[in-house]
Protein backbone atom coordinates (compact mmCIF):
# COMPACT_ATOMS: atom_id res chain seq x y z
CA UNK A 1 0.00 0.00 0.00
CA UNK A 2 1.37 3.40 -1.00
CA UNK A 3 1.31 6.10 1.68
CA UNK A 4 -0.16 9.42 0.48
CA UNK A 5 2.48 11.23 2.58
CA UNK A 6 5.19 9.50 0.55
CA UNK A 7 3.53 10.63 -2.67
CA UNK A 8 3.52 14.23 -1.46
CA UNK A 9 7.17 13.98 -0.42
CA UNK A 10 8.10 12.55 -3.83
CA UNK A 11 6.30 15.38 -5.62
CA UNK A 12 7.82 18.06 -3.39
CA UNK A 13 11.33 16.62 -3.81
CA UNK A 14 10.88 16.35 -7.59
CA UNK A 15 9.74 19.98 -7.78
CA UNK A 16 12.61 21.19 -5.61
CA UNK A 17 15.18 19.32 -7.69
CA UNK A 18 13.68 20.69 -10.90
CA UNK A 19 13.85 24.23 -9.50
CA UNK A 20 17.54 23.64 -8.75
CA UNK A 21 18.27 22.64 -12.33
CA UNK A 22 17.94 18.87 -12.01
CA UNK A 23 15.79 18.43 -15.06
CA UNK A 24 16.91 17.06 -18.43
CA UNK A 25 19.67 16.10 -19.21
CA UNK A 26 19.84 14.89 -15.59
CA UNK A 27 17.54 11.93 -15.44
CA UNK A 28 16.81 11.47 -11.76
CA UNK A 29 14.16 9.22 -10.33
CA UNK A 30 12.70 9.95 -6.91
CA UNK A 31 11.08 7.20 -4.86
CA UNK A 32 9.84 7.56 -1.29
CA UNK A 33 8.99 4.87 1.23
CA UNK A 34 8.22 5.69 4.86
CA UNK A 35 9.94 9.04 4.52
CA UNK A 36 13.11 7.55 3.01
CA UNK A 37 13.83 9.17 -0.33
CA UNK A 38 15.88 7.24 -2.87
CA UNK A 39 17.51 9.21 -5.67
CA UNK A 40 18.58 7.20 -8.68
CA UNK A 41 19.57 8.00 -12.22
CA UNK A 42 22.56 9.65 -13.84
CA UNK A 43 24.22 13.02 -13.41
CA UNK A 44 27.23 14.40 -15.26
CA UNK A 45 29.32 15.57 -12.30
CA UNK A 46 30.04 14.43 -8.73
CA UNK A 47 29.10 17.83 -7.31
CA UNK A 48 25.61 17.37 -8.75
CA UNK A 49 25.14 14.26 -6.61
CA UNK A 50 26.03 16.07 -3.42
CA UNK A 51 23.97 19.12 -4.42
CA UNK A 52 20.88 16.97 -5.01
CA UNK A 53 21.25 15.23 -1.64
CA UNK A 54 21.89 18.53 0.15
CA UNK A 55 18.89 20.18 -1.50
CA UNK A 56 16.44 17.69 -0.06
CA UNK A 57 18.08 16.71 3.22
CA UNK A 58 16.13 18.23 6.07
CA UNK A 59 12.97 18.79 4.04
CA UNK A 60 9.74 18.23 5.93
CA UNK A 61 8.90 14.53 5.96
CA UNK A 62 12.28 13.37 4.63
CA UNK A 63 13.76 11.01 7.20
CA UNK A 64 16.69 9.79 5.11
CA UNK A 65 18.16 10.27 1.64
CA UNK A 66 19.55 7.22 -0.15
CA UNK A 67 21.93 8.16 -2.97
CA UNK A 68 21.89 5.63 -5.80
CA UNK A 69 22.84 8.15 -8.48
CA UNK A 70 25.57 7.32 -10.94
CA UNK A 71 28.00 9.51 -12.84
CA UNK A 72 27.59 9.59 -16.58
CA UNK A 73 29.76 12.31 -18.11
CA UNK A 74 28.59 13.90 -21.32
CA UNK A 75 30.07 12.32 -24.42
CA UNK A 76 32.34 14.66 -26.29
CA UNK A 77 31.93 14.48 -30.03
CA UNK A 78 35.05 14.91 -32.07
Q: How much is the pLDDT for 24?
A: 62
The fold for domain 4-71 equals 3.30.1340
For the segment 23-76, what is each residue's pLDDT rounded down to a tens digit?
Answer: 665 678 999 999 999 999 988 889 999 999 999 999 999 999 999 999 987 777
pLDDT at 2 > cutoff 70: no
Cα separation, 50 vs 2, whole angstroms:
28
Q: Taking the model in full, what pTM does it have?
A: 0.84
pLDDT at 1 > cutoff 60: no
Interacting residues of 68 by C-beta distance below 8 A, sequence separation 6+:
38, 39, 40
Q: How much is the pLDDT for 66?
A: 97
Domain ranges of the chain: 4-71
Amino acid sequence: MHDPKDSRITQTVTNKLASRGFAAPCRLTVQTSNGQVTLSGAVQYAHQKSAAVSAISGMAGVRRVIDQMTLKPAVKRT
